[in-house]
């Protein structure tokens, strides 16, 4: 008889750094739509794309996508600042977006 391998359950897990922030700002376990969580996810994507573009300087399509993401994050941050200033200040310091 041939032994069947046990299927591994692959769970999508964010890196520890952003995972800690996600758990801090999520309202519930499956929260992906709140403003704070969207900002954290977009910031992670921006960091990855920036790293990619350092090695691939002529990837102009990715550069356009990066600029769109930066604009979307800026709009989300503006909305958060108007609606919840305390949360805005916390997320700015946690993500180190200001110097």
State residue 18's pLDDT score: 62
Is 62 inside a domain boundary? yes
Instruction: Specify whether the CB–CB gap between 29 and 70 falls below 8 A.
Output: no
In a domain, 66, yes or no: yes
User: What tokens were used for 49?
Assistant: 């794309």
What is the rounded CA–CA span in Å between residue 1 and residue 3? 6
Q: Examine residue 65 and state whether it is found in any structural domain, yes or no.
A: yes
C-alpha to C-alpha distance for 20 and 1, rounded to whole angstroms: 46
CATH number at 66 reads 1.10.287.10
Structural domains counted in the chain: 1
> 17-53 pLDDT, tens per residue?
567 888 899 999 999 899 999 999 999 999 999 999 9
Q: What is the pLDDT of residue 21?
A: 86
């Amino acid at each position: 008889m041939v032994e069947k391998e046990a299927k591994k359950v692959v769970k999508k897990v964010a890196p520890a750094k952003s995972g800690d922030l996600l758990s801090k700002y999520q309202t519930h376990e499956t929260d992906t739509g709140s403003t704070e969580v969207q900002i954290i996810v977009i910031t992670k994507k921006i960091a990855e794309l920036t790293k990619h573009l350092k090695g691939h300087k002529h990837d102009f399509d990715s550069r356009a996508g990066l600029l769109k993401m930066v604009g979307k994050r800026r709009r989300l941050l503006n909305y958060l600042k108007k609606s919840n200033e305390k949360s805005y200040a916390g997320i700015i310091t946690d993500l180190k977006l200001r110097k």
